[in-house]
Structure 1
Amino acid sequence: MSKPASAIPSAPLTGLAPVVDAGTRILVLGSFPGAASLAAQQYYAHPRNLLWPILSALTGEPLAQLPYDERLPRLLAHGFGLWDVLGACEREGSLDSAIRQPAANDFARLRELCPLLETVGFNGQTSGKFAPQFDAAGYRTVVLPSTSPAHAAMTFEHKLTSWRRLLAG
């Protein structure tokens, strides 16, 4: 007799590579890519996620309107990088609450990859649980409201106001 579908463990998912370079001064860490992002192999690929419109406002660049492969060099040119706190996990769907068997990314190599890194912003409360680890390593940390469409209780304007704290400091 076969197991019901819900009892079959899901295969581990692997996250995306970091988008950083030696000029990265501000790193935005999400929790783990959602299903749309994993399928597209692009950070924040869900069309209703507000990350790209917020970064557009912070950088003054039309990042949200550009093809993905043109966004990344422009983002890096402004000293921003992207990554996630988790490098792998098991999860059905895209909600952070569904994450099982989380495995953190190797952050020890950040000093080597990003020698100018000063500020680490956490996109939501799940990734924000890692803030003390980055505080202890000497980085300025900012836990920010999630840009996920699942966190729709806050308006774009209120989220943007909070996200502007990345630039202060």
Structure 2
Amino acid sequence: MTLARSFPPIAALGARVLVLGSMPGAASLAAVEYYAHPRNAFWPIMGELFGAGPELPYEARAARLREHGVAVWDVLRECRRAGSLDASIVVASERANDFPAFLARFDQVERIYFNGQKAEAAFRRHAAPRLPDDCLDRLTLTRLPSTSPAHAGMSFAEKLANWRQVSDHAGKPVNQ
């Protein structure tokens, strides 16, 4: 069982939405890039919503999301897991990222979108209890269908339709 450690968020001051995964998979950890698996639908969806598609270099995609007020991070700072599947994460090994500090710094975040069920469950278990009530009161928490290729029961078009609410709430590009 490998100890997996996440990496810093994609975020800029003025971010209005935060997209949370659980923990980067093996391809992402190796590339040090969010959603690096070639069959993950995250970047194709971001391409449709914000022009941050996989045809752009990673840094350009990240910059495009920051310009649109979208932050991306993972709930877990570290965990033990065999392979890349969320189902393989050892719950007792889960350690959350520092959400009180993140949400204090990025205090315009109003909505958190979870990329799948595991991200939501881990946030509610580890992060939400550590947040002050006034912080939780200002946030809308929404689970979206996972963009993982392991979540094959939903078509790309169906996933995209669900994910459109991210762009509905992110708004126009923000000034840096």
Match in the other structure for 2:84 = 94
The 8 Å contact of residues 20 and 113 in structure 1, kept in 2 or not, is answered as no
Displacement over 6 Å in runs of 4+: none
The answer to whether structure 1 residue 20 and structure 2 residue 11 are counterparts is yes
| Change in 2 beyond 3 A, CA 1:125/1:131 | same
Uncovered stretches (5+) of structure 2, i.e. residues with no partner: 170-176
* In 2: Cα distance, 1:62 partner to 1:36 partner: 19
| Amino acid in the other structure paired with 2:24 | P
TM-score, normalised to structure 1, is: 0.87
The answer to whether structure 1 residue 41 and structure 2 residue 5 are counterparts is no
- CA shift at 1:167, angstroms? 3.7
| Amino acid in the other structure paired with 1:154 | M
Match in the other structure for 1:7 = none
* In 1: Cα distance, 2:101 partner to 2:160 partner: 30
Give RMSD over aligned pairs: 1.8
Deviations 1:15-43 (A, max 9, x none): 11111111211110001000000000000
- CA shift at 1:11, angstroms? 4.2
* Between structures 1 and 2, the one with greater helix share: 2
| Change in 2 beyond 3 A, CA 1:131/1:144 | farther
The 8 Å contact of residues 91 and 99 in structure 1, kept in 2 or not, is answered as yes
The percentage of aligned residue pairs carrying the same residue is 45
The answer to whether structure 1 residue 51 and structure 2 residue 42 are counterparts is yes
Match in the other structure for 1:3 = none
How many residue pairs get matched?
159
> Match of 1:88, SS?
strand
Q: Within 5 Å, which residues of 2 pair with 1:1-169? A: 10-59=1-50, 61-100=51-90, 101-129=93-121, 130=123, 133=128, 137-138=136-137, 139-168=139-168
- CA shift at 1:166, angstroms? 2.4
* In 2: Cα distance, 1:166 partner to 1:70 partner: 19
